[in-house]
Structure 1
């Protein structure tokens, strides 16, 4: 349980969660005395706002659609020692929250990630579990840090994590962006298992399996280019060099054999691709130097805030 002088806020993004938001708000207030629950309505057309207010939440509105826009607004507007980010669909075990907050302070850690443990056979929609495992493996491989559940919507965060995190995503990709931010800055992070159950009747998921899955994969690739520019561009350079070699080798062999170059277009194409490969390699080196400077700035912004601790 947090110290009485520690301010804790919960951020609950909501879009048409009339059937569940009241239960989530009440559970949060019961689990952590003194917590302030902010429900950020993202354009609901049902009675989500009324149900949240009745349960004791502070309701705010974000007109730009998308969970990323909600998180960006909340992280910018709110001030607290501890931030709880949890979905409003009543699928996460809120009773685990006091232990997660205590763990944040005891580490101290800047992020406690709730790893979903299914409480029912149908908690995950078809394809979600395998997709999540795939993305975890890809990010772990690309960024060299173990990731257990990068798509979870249940996290406890320190002030310095929140205030050093430049939210760029607009939609469900924000969890991926948070994961990459934490592994990129090597933010102290710990994973804990939390109960995860199916949505109650009357509540429908806003996540579109394939559409949002491809968006998340695209974001991972963009972040890999942004956060690991040298390996990314080196890989591009290798592929281009191989293409150039496949196209140009027959021309070179023919020249050594006959002294003639009969396929000028192929020779020009192969040479051009080889030049582009070299340029890609140089670009990666330049962007890597720029990334180091940017990372130092991000690290200094992160260090402006003290670590979470009991007061």
Structure 2
């Protein structure tokens, strides 16, 4: 057991399933999460990464039997980056440490990932009356708006972009360029999977209230604006032609609106009555052309980056083809088949 806790990636082949729990001041909730996932996935190794908690999160997590580590860079995205770099497994279950997600869905999500050879399975939160108090109307509305934006721009294959409960393949984890520092990391997961056209799955799960004494770290407006900013930056990075073409079209329309009266007057009188306006219209037209050219150039660059990411993804062997996982004498995966009545 000591080797399993201390050696990290070198004994990762024996950890066929890893449960990853990023935590910040979750002293009340994290023991419940650990107990629930230990029951749902008895053969999994549970990791808790503490993110500068000021309460007893680390102590209670260790007492509950989790492998506890620390990430000093503040923010969920920074914790996820460290987790993905440190841990080796065949399937990675990522869940928030606030005890709002249903651990009993984990076995179905892992089974779906492994049997259908998927790269990401997302827990889609239900929005019925039972979940109404936990899933606040502001959060639900924001999730619908932001998820709708991503579906329209990147592909109509996701239902709950901001879910904090997912299962990943090793291929996804080891090829994912984790750049976000905070809660925007869920947006990065989704866009990365959609851009690479990875096989995805979804499982509907119950979403419950936090336990008494546990406080949410989310700020609806602040974090919502950060996620919106991330989406716009991802559009610029992944779809530069559309981004800069839209900007160029807006500038061109404005230039035309300014130029039409001037051209009409010039045709009638042979004079340009408002010379500064003519200069402004010309400048806007030039900026529109430059924006279009930038979009074309960056689209070529983006295409090359996408090809490199696909090749990096394909360079990682499937779990059963990995000699470290498929070798003799390694611990078998936990039996996820429901017991017979």
Deviation at 1:309, TM superposition (A): 5.2
The answer to whether residue 31 in structure 2 is matched with residue 22 in structure 1 is yes
Write out the 4+ residue segments of structure 1 that deviate beyond 4 Å after TM superposition. 308-311
SS in 1 for 2:137: coil
Task: Give the equivalent residue in structure 1 for 2:90.
Answer: 81
Contact 1:106–1:309 under 8 Å retained in 2: no
The answer to whether residue 181 in structure 2 is matched with residue 147 in structure 1 is no
Contact 1:89–1:199 under 8 Å retained in 2: yes
SS in 1 for 2:98: coil
Task: Give the equivalent residue in structure 2 for 1:12.
Answer: 21
Deviation at 1:192, TM superposition (A): 0.9
The answer to whether residue 256 in structure 2 is matched with residue 245 in structure 1 is yes
1:200 to 169, 188, 211: 211
Contact 1:109–1:308 under 8 Å retained in 2: no
CA distance in 1, matches of 2:155, 2:269: 50
CA distance in 1, matches of 2:283, 2:131: 57
CA distance in 2, matches of 1:291, 1:297: 10
Deviation at 1:33, TM superposition (A): 2.1
CA deviation map 1:264-294 (0-9, x unaligned): 1111110011011011001101111111110
Deviation at 1:252, TM superposition (A): 1.0
Task: Give the equivalent residue in structure 2 for 1:110.
Answer: 119
Q: Unpaired runs of 5+ in structure 2?
A: 1-12, 327-341
Task: Give the equivalent residue in structure 1 for 2:334.
Answer: none
Task: Give the equivalent residue in structure 2 for 1:274.
Answer: 285
TM-score (norm 2): 0.88
Task: Give the equivalent residue in structure 2 for 1:92.
Answer: 101
Q: Output aligned runs, 1:177-196, within 5 Å.
A: 177-196=188-207
SS in 1 for 2:172: helix
CA deviation map 1:72-124 (0-9, x unaligned): 11111111111110000001010111111110011110001000124433011
TM-score (norm 1): 0.96
Task: Give the equivalent residue in structure 1 for 2:78.
Answer: 69
Aligned residues: 308
Deviation at 1:6, TM superposition (A): 6.3
CA deviation map 1:102-156 (0-9, x unaligned): 1001111000100012443301123011111111111000112332000000000
CA deviation map 1:229-279 (0-9, x unaligned): 111111111100001011111111111110011211111110011011011
Deviation at 1:26, TM superposition (A): 1.4
Q: Output aligned runs, 1:151-190, within 5 Å.
A: 151-190=162-201
CA distance in 2, matches of 1:6, 1:204: 32
CA distance in 2, matches of 1:221, 1:269: 28
CA distance in 1, matches of 2:301, 2:54: 45
CA distance in 1, matches of 2:107, 2:320: 14
The answer to whether residue 218 in structure 2 is matched with residue 218 in structure 1 is no
SS in 1 for 2:149: helix
CA deviation map 1:166-189 (0-9, x unaligned): 011110110011111110111110
The answer to whether residue 66 in structure 2 is matched with residue 57 in structure 1 is yes
CA distance in 1, matches of 2:280, 2:204: 54
Contact 1:117–1:196 under 8 Å retained in 2: yes
SS in 2 for 1:127: helix
CA distance in 1, matches of 2:155, 2:113: 23
CA distance in 2, matches of 1:289, 1:110: 27
SS in 2 for 1:196: coil
Deviation at 1:308, TM superposition (A): 4.7
Q: Indicate the RMSD between aligned Cα atoms, in angstroms.
A: 1.4
